[in-house]
């Protein structure tokens, strides 16, 4: 295992950033969803755009266990069932797009996906309480397709799903529980697609993911114990600012 980890030839700085990503994933899956958006561009900068997506996915699957364990009873399955067919369709579209482009183009698509997610986060923050989001079937279809596409391309569907579920005026814990179950399902669906079609999940990448489990556990503990004490607005502004900078770096 150690030999495999050394084969990545990462610098101390890259290892530190990878461990930070593990912690942020754990934090994100236990209530502070914005943290995950920062992980996507950081890992892309270390491992490359498409390989990083496959590297990140098993870590998310492991972290999903924490979210589902703590909030499973609060899920609103009506919204999950309503979105799932369209989310799966979006995943297929993302799979085809990702297979058809080279690494450089994939990097641009990933960066645009992350920035679009950040734009949605900012828009929702600024317009919260001042606008009405449509609740029609067409809105569900669009959000499902967008969520599926962004989660396949860059594991970056958090802002899209937040916009949809919060527009449904779900209570806090219902929102967290519904999100936890939704992402556990779609993330597990994506695993064989990465293995069979993109070849971005391998035994080598899984060994790296296993090495990140302690960091994810630490992050989950931090999220569980501190989510009620962190000033939410300040935290979100910091995450948004850092993620925008990291996403722009993908264009360089």
Q: Which of 228, 151, 147, 146 is nearest to 187 (CA)?
A: 151
Contact 215, 86 (CB under 8 A): no
Give the Cα separation of 115 and 87 in Å (integer). Answer: 20
Q: What is the mean pLDDT of the chain?
A: 83
Can you read off the two tokens belonging to residue 182? 């939704």
Kindly state the DSSP code that residue 155 receives in the 8-state scheme. Answer: S
Write the pLDDT tens digit of every residue in 30-50: 767 667 778 888 998 899 888
End-to-end, the C-alpha distance of the chain in Å comes to 33
Measured in whole angstroms, the distance separating CA 95 from the mean position of its chain's CA atoms is 16
Per-residue model confidence (pLDDT) at position 204: 94
Can you read off the two tokens belonging to residue 69? 């364990």
Q: If you search the block for the tokens 């971005």, which residue do you land on? A: 200
Per-residue model confidence (pLDDT) at position 18: 95
Write the pLDDT tens digit of every residue in 211-239: 999 999 999 888 777 766 766 566 556 65
Per-residue model confidence (pLDDT) at position 179: 85
Q: Which of 178, 185, 154 is nearest to 38 (CA)?
A: 154
């Amino acid at each position: 295992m150690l030999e495999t980890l050394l084969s990545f030839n990462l610098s101390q700085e890259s290892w530190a950033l990878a461990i930070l990503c593990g912690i942020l994933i754990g934090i994100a899956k236990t209530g502070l969803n914005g943290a995950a958006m920062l992980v996507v561009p950081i890992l892309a900068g270390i491992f490359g755009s498409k390989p990083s997506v496959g590297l990140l996915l098993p870590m998310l699957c492991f972290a999903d266990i924490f979210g589902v364990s703590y909030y499973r009873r609060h899920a609103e399955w009506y919204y999950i069932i309503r979105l799932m067919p369209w989310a799966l369709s979006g995943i297929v579209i993302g799979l085809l797009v990702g297979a058809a482009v080279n690494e450089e183009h994939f990097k641009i698509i990933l960066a645009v996906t992350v920035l679009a997610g950040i734009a949605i986060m900012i828009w929702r923050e600024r317009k919260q309480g001042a606008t009405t989001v449509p609740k029609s079937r067409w809105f569900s279809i669009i959000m499902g397709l967008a969520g599926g596409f962004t989660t396949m391309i860059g594991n970056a569907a958090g802002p899209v799903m937040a916009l949809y579920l919060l527009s449904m005026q779900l209570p806090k814990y219902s929102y967290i529980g519904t999100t936890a179950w939704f992402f556990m399902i779609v993330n597990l669906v994506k695993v064989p697609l990465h293995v069979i079609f993109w070849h971005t999940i391998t035994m080598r990448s899984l060994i790296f993911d296993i090495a990140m489990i302690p960091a994810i556990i630490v992050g989950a503990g931090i999220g569980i114990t501190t989510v009620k004490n962190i000033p939410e607005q300040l935290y979100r502004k910091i995450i948004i600012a850092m993620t925008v900078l990291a996403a722009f770096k993908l264009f360089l």
